[in-house]
Structure 1
């Protein structure tokens, strides 16, 4: 392949060099290939052990537009705050203990 020209910026030159190394590996057959069985054996999603022990359940909840707007306007973490508010409400009625 050709040398990067002076017209390329550093990032473009680094990308070009990386692409050229990759092409060289393919040409030398120095690339790790996965078999169909290996690909089929892969699991989708997060790797095992990367999730918390206590997980939350995704639900579809229909809220009034003004309520939703106010919650979202409160900033990041509004879903956690609404969960905490619902938990506090259930504690007051004695329907949940912790």
Structure 2
């Protein structure tokens, strides 16, 4: 079964792994040190993130380093864009309403 990026980021541990790796490339052991889960569980999360192309792996000598792939997150950003516009518009409407209510209460 091929997972997609949305399934990958649905898990809080995987989101935490992405946040760590976003700052700098890491080995699986370094990643696992940041979690109370077993190394095998963390390794499974890394595998899913790699399958979804959110992480790229680079061999350096005997070590494998995982790098964040920001291009793949564009898929998420593109999907969220219309919702962000909707939320922004609704918050603007709420701001306008609150300002009107505030000015009316000062008039009373």
Question: TM-score, normalised to structure 2's length?
Answer: 0.20
Larger Rg computed on CA atoms? 1
Question: TM-score, normalised to structure 1's length?
Answer: 0.22
More strand by share: 2
More helix by share: 2
